[in-house]
Amino acid sequence: MSEQTIALVTGANKGIGYEIAAGLGALGWKVGVGARDQQRRDTAVEKLRAAGVDAFGVPLDVTDDASVSAAADLITEQAGGLDVLVNNAAITGSMPQTPTTVDPAIIRDVVETNVIGVIRVTNAMLPLLRRSASPRIVNMSSSVGSLTLQTTPGGETGPISAAYAPSKTFLNAITAQYVKELKELGDTKILINSGCPGFTATDLNGFRGIRTPQQGAAIAIHLATIPDDGPNGEFFDDAGIVPW
């Protein structure tokens, strides 16, 4: 493993993912820009390189087994290993998503990307992460995935949603299960946490968010850089712990 820390950010061609890649690159890290569209990926890599980031493109569709497996091979070839995985890629699915009327196909698509996609990428990258001295996994979640907030009158719950918000609840639940299993397996070096970027102006919400993508990226950069005795299996935003 080289001295340089190596990260993969999924969905890094735009929005918060791009700014996570830029922020980790500014630390001197080598950053894999995971993106499914070649043109958008190349444009992002060029822009990052122009800003001085040691970036490389990683063709990656998180819903596709072959793509994810090829991404792990490419990272091994190009970087020789992986220290940090930021599972950032996600979709909201088309709206409305009211539970009484939702098209189940929307739920399937959202879960395929936001939950199964994370599991697929994580499991493909685990052999590489296990060889790192200080492996970290950051799962980009959302406070709308907090069941506590969703069931607390006055909580920050977002719109009624049968796909996107529950997909983030599911992702948080999966994060907890990874923590349990990795502990049982003795994989104690791997720290895995969920982060919420806050309501950020990106394509995801038609740029209605009130935070900049750079601000949204801050929690992922923080969780990617925690020390070996840092938190494990917790859920944070910039203000601190988010209830599950």
> Quick check: is 18 catalytic?
no
Contact 77, 1 (CB under 8 A): no
Is residue 62 within the footprint of ligand NAP (CB under 6 A)?
A: yes
Is residue 140 within the footprint of ligand NAP (CB under 6 A)?
A: yes
Q: Give CA–CA dist 221/22, Å, rounded.
A: 10
Bond prior to 166 in cis (omega within 30° of 0):
no
Provide the residue type at 19 as one letter. E
Task: Exactly one of 18, 29, 164, 236 is catalytic; name it.
Answer: 164
Task: Please classify residue 53 by burial: count the beta carbons closer than 10 Å to its beta carbon, then call 0-12 exposed, 13-18 middle and 19+ buried.
Answer: buried
For residue 116, CA distances in Å to 27, 64, 113, 186, 244 come to 30, 10, 6, 24, 19
Site string for ligand NAP, 144-183 (x = CB under 6 A): ----------------------------------------
Contact 104, 94 (CB under 8 A): no
Is residue 37 within the footprint of ligand NAP (CB under 6 A)?
A: yes
Nearer to ligand NAP, 40 or 49 (CB): 40
Is residue 15 within the footprint of ligand NAP (CB under 6 A)?
A: yes
Interacting residues of 56 by C-beta distance below 8 A, sequence separation 6+: 30, 31, 32, 33, 45, 78, 79
CB of 205 to ligand NAP, least distance (A): 5
**Exactly one of 6, 8, 60, 163 binds ligand NAP (CB under 6 A); which one?**
60
CB of 77 to ligand NAP, least distance (A): 20
Which positions touch ligand NAP (CB under 6 A)?
10-11, 13-17, 35-37, 40, 60-63, 88-91, 113, 117, 140, 142, 196-197, 199-200, 202-205, 209
Active site members: 164
